[in-house]
Structure 1
Amino acid sequence: MSNSSTQFEPKIIAFCCYYCAYSAADLAGSMRLQYPANVRLIEMPCTGKTDVRVLLEAFENGADGVYVAGCLEGDCHFLKGNLRAKKRVQYAKKLLDEIGIGGERLEMFNLASSMGPRFAEIAREFTEKIRQLGPNPLKKHNTCSQEEAKEKNVS
């Protein structure tokens, strides 16, 4: 492994259902289970409220990986919210492939509130997957744009 890849720590956003996945994350913390600190949790009333635009904006704003974690299929507190989220994630994955970011940087997971160890495992596995993929390709583009803007301000 090269030195640059060992230094790369991905920025990961996890959109978590309040009733299940967020509770599983809370349980993981209560159990003192270790998972990467670079996973940022965003509590959602239901994953069905996660819009494709929000998923794409997470990448635009510098996330290297994003996952949506909802209730187990068939156990959504809002009946079919997690099924709507699953379709939106699948659609967003196709868009990410089309624009060159890569759909593999976005995933959907289903958890029960009692699955704290599984939440920690998902966080570790997803972080490692994104670490292997490297930084979000948009970051290079954004860095160039920022450098160009600085040059324009200097001259």
Structure 2
Amino acid sequence: MHVDKQKHTFEPKIIAFVCTWCTYAGADLAGTSRMQYPSNVRVLKFPCTGRIDPVFIIKAFQQGADGILISGCHPGDCHYIAGNYHARRRFAAFRKLLEFIGVDLNRIQFSWVSAAEGGKWVEVVTDLTERVRAMGPMVEFKDLVLEEQWSGNLNNPELQAVYEAM
């Protein structure tokens, strides 16, 4: 019973990587229109979704994100002509790597939200938050953070010599 209660009170951390021109403006429209949606999302604004490096997604999970949203202009409406097509192709290839390293792809959503679609922003954010909340915390990457930090063993004679020389 304690686990169920803990899962029920879990509030996921969602990181949204969005383009400045469309999705960020759509999120802003939702806010200025006083539309209600979960406050679990932290927005990172990019000039274009084509500039979002897949490593950012892995880093977000390592830093404690439970879910990721990538959202930009609709295909054909990119302010940088083809940036969203590049992002879509990159994400399609990156999905296989995420699956391989054990990320449940239900934790990630790729969507198109225009500047005029504040209601769609609310729907996307709400759906992703509810889905990730039901899945529970993302624990798989917590261990990776520890491994990525200094992994040296201070009992190692070479490392000990370097520390003593400092």
TM value normalised by structure 2: 0.81
Partner of 2:47: 45
Q: Shift in Å at residue 142 of structure 1?
A: 6.3
- In structure 2, which of residues 12, 15, 28 is the aligned counterpart of residue 10 of structure 1? 12
1:78 aligns with 2:98: no
Specify the alignment match of 1:148 in structure 2: none
Instruction: State percent identity of aligned pairs.
Output: 41
In structure 1, C-alpha distance between the alignment counterparts of 2:121 and 2:64, rounded to whole Å: 23
Q: Where has structure 1 moved over 6 Å in runs of 4 or more?
A: 142-145
Partner amino acid, structure 2, of 1:134 = G
1:16-95 paired onto structure 2 within 5 Å: 16-95=18-97
- Residue identity in the other structure for 1:87: R
Give how far 1:97 is off.
Answer: 1.2
For 2:128 and 2:112, how far apart are their aligned partners in 1?
14
Looking at CA atoms only, which structure, 1 or 2, has the larger radius of gyration?
2
Q: CA–CA distance in 2 between the matches of 1:134 and 1:48? A: 30
Is the CA contact (8 Å cut-off) linking 1:55 and 1:92 kept in structure 2?
Answer: no
Deviation at 1:125, TM superposition (A): 0.4
Cα distance between partner residues in 2 of 1:92 and 1:128? 24
C-alpha distance after superposition, 1:77-115 (max 9, x if no partner): 011111111122223322221111212211210011000
SS in 2 for 1:19: coil
Q: Which runs of 5+ in 2 are unaligned?
A: 148-166
| Equivalent pair of 2:62/2:142 in contact (CA under 8 Å) | no
**8 Å contact kept, 1:89–1:107:** no
Structure 1 residues 92 and 62 mapped into 2: Cα distance closer, same or farther (>3 Å)?
farther
Q: Deviations over 1:98-138 (max 9, x none)?
A: 11121221121001100001101110000001111111123
Q: How many residues align?
A: 147
> Residues of 2 paired with 1:3 and 1:143: CA distance?
27
**Deviation for aligned residue 1:144:** 8.1
Give 1:29 shift: 0.2
Moved more, 136-145 or 66-75: 136-145
Of the structure 1 ranges 93-102 and 4-13, higher mean CA displacement relative to structure 2 is found in 93-102
Decide whether the 8 Å contact of 1:101 with 1:137 is kept in 2: no
Does the aligned pair in 2 maintain the 1:95–1:103 contact within 8 Å? no
